[in-house]
Amino acid sequence: MRVYLAPMEGVVDHLMRDMLTRVGGFDLCVTEFVRVVDQKLPHKTFYRLCPELHNDCKTPSGVPVKIQLLGQHPEWLAENAMTAVELGSPGVDLNFGCPAKTVNKSKGGAVLLQHTQQLHDIVYAVRQAVPAHLPVTAKIRLGYEDKSLAIDNAVAIDEAGASELVVHARTKTEGYRPPAYWDWIKKIKAVTRLPVIANGEIWNHDDAVRCMQASGCDDLMIGRGALAMPNLARHIRGEEAPMAWEDLSQLLIDYSGYEIFGDKGRYYPNRIKQWCGYLKRQYPQAETLFSNIRRLQKADEIVNVLRQSAHL
Ligand SMILES: Cc1cc2nc3c(=O)[nH]c(=O)nc-3n(C[C@H](O)[C@H](O)[C@H](O)COP(=O)(O)O)c2cc1C
C-alpha cells in the first residue's frame, strides 16, 4: 500500500510537507500546481513552489516530492515539464482537477475534463518530452458537471502514455462535498492498465478501508484528512492510533518554529488559523484554540496561546 500526500494550493507548502512527512507514513508528496500559460517559466518559479529541489527533490525526512503542472497548451506544458525534471523533479504530475474559477476560465484544471482529446494531447506531449524512466502522472476528477466522460478521459490518459492516475472521486460541480464516489474509481480501474490511486473524503482508518474496498485500489492519496489528523497516513496503515491532542499541540508549536523562521513568516498567522480550521474536524480542542487565536495578528502572541493550550 502506498499513501500519497495530496497537493493543496495555499495550504500544503514545503513547510507543511516537511512537518507531515516527519510525522510519517507518506511515500510521495505532490507540489501545489505550477501554472503554465504560454511561456517557459523561470527556474525561480519551480524553486519557489518546490524548494525541495535543493535537496534532491525530497523532504528533509527523505520523502520524494513531484512537481505538478497546470495548463492547457500541450507544447508549453511539455517545455515546462522538461524544466521540472531537469531541475530534479522525479517525474511530473498534471492537474486536471482544479475547480477554481480563475483557473478554469483560462482553460486549465477541471475544465479540461470536458475535452478528452485535449487531455490526451497534453499527456502525450508531456510524455514525449520527459525522459522515459521518469513518470508522467495525471490527477483527475470524475468529470466537470457530470460523470459521462469519466471513462473516456481515463482511457485517453492511459493511451497517451501516462504512468499513473490519481482519481479524486467527484466532479468539479460536486466540489468538496461528501460523498466521494469511490465506486467510480473501480469502473475506471477496469478499463485502464494504469496504476490508479484513490482520492477523496478519507478522514480515518475506516474511510480508508471502505475506499479501498469500493475502489479496488491499494494506494491512496490524502489531503484534508492529513491536516485534520497529521498522523493519518500511519493510522491508515494500522501503525498508530490518532495522534493525541498533547502531541498535536507540540506539533503546532514546532510548526510555528518552521513557519516563523522559514521564508513565509508573514503568512504564519493565517496559515495556523487555516490549519486549526481543519483540525476542528478531528479535535474538539482545536475549536477553543481557534477562537483564542482568531483575532491575533502577531506570531508571538499566537505562539504564546499555543504554549498555554499545550499545558492545559
Ligand atoms: C485548499 C485546497 C487546495 C487544493 N489544491 C490542489 C492543487 O494544487 N492540485 C491538485 O491537484 N489538487 C488540489 N486540491 C485537491 C486535493 O489534492 C484533493 O484532491 C482533494 O482535497 C480531495 O482529497 P481529500 O478529501 O483527501 O482532501 C486542493 C484541495 C484543497 C481543499
CA of 6 to the centre of ligand 1 (A): 6
Cα-flanking dihedrals φ and ψ of residue 221, to 5°? -120, 135
- The tens-digit pLDDT sequence of the chain (312 residues) is 999 999 999 999 999 999 999 999 999 999 999 999 999 999 999 999 999 999 999 999 999 999 999 999 999 999 999 999 999 999 999 999 988 877 656 678 999 999 999 999 999 999 999 999 999 999 999 999 999 999 999 999 999 999 999 999 999 999 999 999 999 999 999 999 999 999 999 999 999 999 999 999 999 999 999 999 999 999 999 999 999 999 999 899 888 887 777 766 778 888 899 999 999 999 999 999 999 999 998 888 998 999 888 765
User: Ligand 1: which residue has its CA nearest to atom 3?
Assistant: 8
Nearest to 185 by CA among 174, 173, 200, 172: 200
Task: Report whether 53 contacts 16 (CB < 8 A).
Answer: no
CA of 301 to the centre of ligand 1 (A): 30
Give the separation between CA 47 and CA 202, rounded to whole angstroms: 30
From the CA of 6, give the closest atom in ligand 1: 17
Q: 28 has which bridge partners?
A: 4
Q: Is the dihedral of CA 6, 8, 11, 14 positive or negative?
A: positive
137 within ligand 1 shell (Cβ under 6 A): no
Active site residue 29: no
Under DSSP, is residue 166 helix (H, G, I), strand (E, B) or coil?
Answer: strand
Give the separation between CA 280 and CA 94, rounded to whole angstroms: 31
35 within ligand 1 shell (Cβ under 6 A): no
* ∠ CA 238-227-267, rounded to 5°: 155
CA of 211 to the centre of ligand 1 (A): 17
User: Ligand 1: which residue has its CA nearest to atom 19?
Assistant: 168
Q: 199 has which bridge partners?
A: 168, 221
Helices (H) and strands (E) in the chain, counts: 14, 8
Taking the C-alpha atoms of 213, 214, 215 and 216 in order, what is their torsion angle to the nearest 10 degrees?
Answer: 40
Instruction: Tell me the best of 9, 20, 49 to mutate to test the pocket of ligand 1, counting ligand atoms within 8 Å of each CB and taking the most.
Output: 9
* Catalytic residue of the set 29, 50, 57, 98: 98
Task: Report whether 58 contacts 26 (CB < 8 A).
Answer: no
109 within ligand 1 shell (Cβ under 6 A): no
- Whether cis (ω within 30° of 0) applies to the bond prior to 131 is no
Q: Is the dihedral of CA 31, 34, 40, 46 positive or negative?
A: negative
